[in-house]
Amino acid sequence: MGRLERIGRPASLRSLMPPSQPPIQPHIQPHIRKEVRNLAIIAHVDHGKTTLIDGLLRQTGAFRENQVVAERAMDSGDLERERGITILSKSTAIDFEGVRLQLVDTPGHADFGAEVERILGMVDGVLLLVDAVEGVMPQTRFVVRKAVARGLRLILVVNKIDRPEQRAHAVVDEVFDLLSELGADDRQLDFPVVYASAKQGGSALEPEAPLQDLRPLLETILEHAPAPEVDPEGPVQFQAVTLGYDDFVGRLVIGRVARGRLRRGTPLVRVGPDGPAETFRITKLFGFRGLDRVEVEEAQAGDVVMIAGVDSIEIGDTVCDPQRPEALPRIEVDPPTIRVCFMANTSPFAGREGRFVTARQISERLHREVLGNVSIRLEDEESGADRFVVAARGELQIAVLIETMRREGYEFAVSRPEIILREVEGKTCEPVEDVSAEVPEAFAGAVMEKLAARRGRLVTMEHRGERVLLQFVVPSRGLFGYRTEFLTDTRGEGVLYRAVRGYEPFAGDLSRRRVGAIVSTEAGQTTAYSLFHIQERSTLFVGAGVPVYEGQVVGENRRAGDMPVNVCKAKKLTNVRAAGKDEATVLSPPRQLTIESALEWIEDDELLEATPESLRLRKRKLLASERKRAS
């Protein structure tokens, strides 16, 4: 938690106060709002958070009987629906037996853990979802550690109880052991348990009991979730937790009213980390009802609301009464662990597909991203006029940023990710991650061998039928490029999860990529004749008839070292008729690159070129003579 800052009243605000007004005494007696519950739903990825919210919305009548609702209604973004994951936290509210339940759906992937960290500051309890088969996973440990540190009360929901291989009793014991390990107090250890199937919309208080609707879960929330203790009559305080934008009303700010009452049209001040307070008026005030936002005239302490009227606000800023401009502690999240370099595209194809291609436009877009995402940082001291170093929590978060910018029309190049080292007690330390690999028993040896070569250490090994659950601690840099290798080693049957654990002493050098690159030596269009003769020695990234340029990486060499190839070479035609038949040029389908796989594959001397229509790999120095001189 950041320190409590007290910012003096600006001179421009002193004139607004009556000169004879006595000092305001703090309101001491807290008020318990029994008609409200604020809860965050936290879990590992794919354990059913968003599906459970769908069920709760249906259970409480948030949807009409004839209303067509998409599956995972809270995942409203295009990228979220395509990838099947939650990227941004979202708020909703439902009513049950006269109590308004304000729920926040949070991401389950470790790279978006900052969303969970900042959301936990505006709730009073959490619903912890754990898969009845998988049990405690790396991200479960991360979110539980943050909830325990804030002293939040947990309600455990063992989800997917309808699966035949469920092991509900063992999962409850795993959660208890985890809480004990993380130093939970007696109140947190005495957690209620609900067994549910979010997909079926049913729940029960015992694992063997038949599933009813979700009423047992809702009743458990009313009984055990703490009501907010607030001061509704004190000077107003509201902290910005999430930012959005609306074409009609401008900047939108979501947060919780910590003290007092917010009213539309009331003059308020914004208190930032530094600089003078800024005055403004609330033009719009919204609450949440189901999937809709509803305009309201007033919100009091304990409500999660959305306000409009201030465009210069940042995450963590406090909205206060002009007479008491007191800032709440700033929102603190774990620091980023990797960084990449964004730069303007300098390839021969630059400007053909994108609308925003200059370094200035890329810089402005990255600065806007930093304002709305506290886990991404722009390292200005490392950046230059044409390169921008962006630090983030993981490769997936970088990939989502790249894809978002591509869809907005940006064209740029990205370097290979690198870890961020830190000095801890005089030692150079690097980020390490908890890695869970669930694989068929026959492939466990290959996984252990590969991760051991990447400086990983095996923590536990658990047999679950014909599969084995392996728990490792691995340096983050040792996992660059491993996912593709893992899927190959396990024939696509393995499941790999990872989450940042912390920092440990630097583990030493690691071996680099064991294969080389196929580099085009000419500019033009690829031909089937040329590709056919090199496909036996390589894995191609492009097909026939694709425009390429000199220095572009068009495939993966199956041996170490780069191989320059003229992929535009055509067959020489003559007027001499051959007695035999020409061999058929049958090409294997090229490997389709994704942003994640490309970031994993490239080395320090290579770049990923991202445009709205294409993903290409290239050498930093396009000319072979320059690469030879640099080596």
Q: Residue 355 is part of a domain; what is its CATH number?
A: 3.30.70.870
Contacts of 340 (CB under 8 A, 6+ apart): 389, 390, 392, 398, 414, 415, 416, 417, 418, 599
Predicted confidence at residue 11, as pLDDT, reads 36
The answer to whether residue 17 sits within a structural domain is no
Give yes or no: residues 414 and 445 share one domain. Answer: no
The answer to whether residue 332 sits within a structural domain is no
Q: Greater confidence, 297 or 484?
A: 297
Please check the confidence at residue 480 and state whether its pLDDT lies above 60: yes
Please check the confidence at residue 268 and state whether its pLDDT lies above 80: yes
In CATH, what number is assigned to the domain containing residue 495?
Answer: 3.30.70.240
Predicted confidence at residue 3, as pLDDT, reads 32
CA within 13 Å, CB half, 239: 20
Local confidence band at 509 (pLDDT 50, 70, 90 cut-offs):
confident
- Average pLDDT score, the chain: 84
Query: Per mean pLDDT, which range of 290-294, 314-318, 385-389, 470-474 is the poorest?
Result: 290-294
Taking the C-alpha atoms of residue 476 and residue 360, their distance in angstroms, rounded to an integer, is: 32
Give yes or no: residues 122 and 218 share one domain. Answer: yes
Give yes or no: residues 63 and 198 share one domain. Answer: yes
Q: Greater confidence, 399 or 28?
A: 399
Query: Per mean pLDDT, which range of 59-63, 67-71, 218-222, 397-401 is the poorest?
Result: 67-71
Query: Per mean pLDDT, which range of 338-342, 356-360, 366-370 is the poorest?
Result: 366-370
In CATH, what number is assigned to the domain containing residue 191?
Answer: 3.40.50.300
Predicted confidence at residue 63, as pLDDT, reads 61
Q: Work out the percent of the chain whose per-residue pLDDT is above 90.
A: 30
Please check the confidence at residue 372 and state whether its pLDDT lies above 60: yes
pTM for the model: 0.81
Give yes or no: residues 492 and 560 share one domain. Answer: no
- Tell me: the pLDDT tens digits for 70-107? 555 555 567 777 777 777 778 888 888 889 998 888 88
- Tell me: the pLDDT tens digits for 414-456? 999 999 998 888 889 999 998 989 899 999 999 999 899 888 9
Mean pLDDT of all residues in 298-312: 87
Please check the confidence at residue 577 and state whether its pLDDT lies above 90: no
Local confidence band at 21 (pLDDT 50, 70, 90 cut-offs):
very low
Local confidence band at 64 (pLDDT 50, 70, 90 cut-offs):
low
Choose one of 197, 229, 261: the last residue of a domain. Answer: 229
**Domains held by the chain: number:** 5
Please check the confidence at residue 499 and state whether its pLDDT lies above 80: yes
Of 556, 570, 480, give the one whose Cα is nearest residue 519.
556
Give yes or no: residues 348 and 394 share one domain. Answer: yes
Give yes or no: residues 391 and 458 share one domain. Answer: no
Predicted confidence at residue 9, as pLDDT, reads 35
DSSP state string for 571-597: PPP-SPPPSSPPPP-PPPPPPPP-HHH
Please check the confidence at residue 7 and state whether its pLDDT lies above 50: no
Give yes or no: residues 189 and 243 share one domain. Answer: no
The answer to whether residue 461 sits within a structural domain is yes
Give yes or no: residues 103 and 40 share one domain. Answer: yes
Q: Are 242 and 287 in contact (CB under 8 A)?
A: no
Give yes or no: residues 187 and 49 share one domain. Answer: yes
Q: Which domain holds residue 554?
A: 516-573+583-606+613-630
Taking the C-alpha atoms of residue 141 and residue 135, their distance in angstroms, rounded to an integer, is: 11
Q: Which of 323-332, 346-355, 374-383 has the highest mean pLDDT?
A: 346-355
Give yes or no: residues 67 and 182 share one domain. Answer: yes
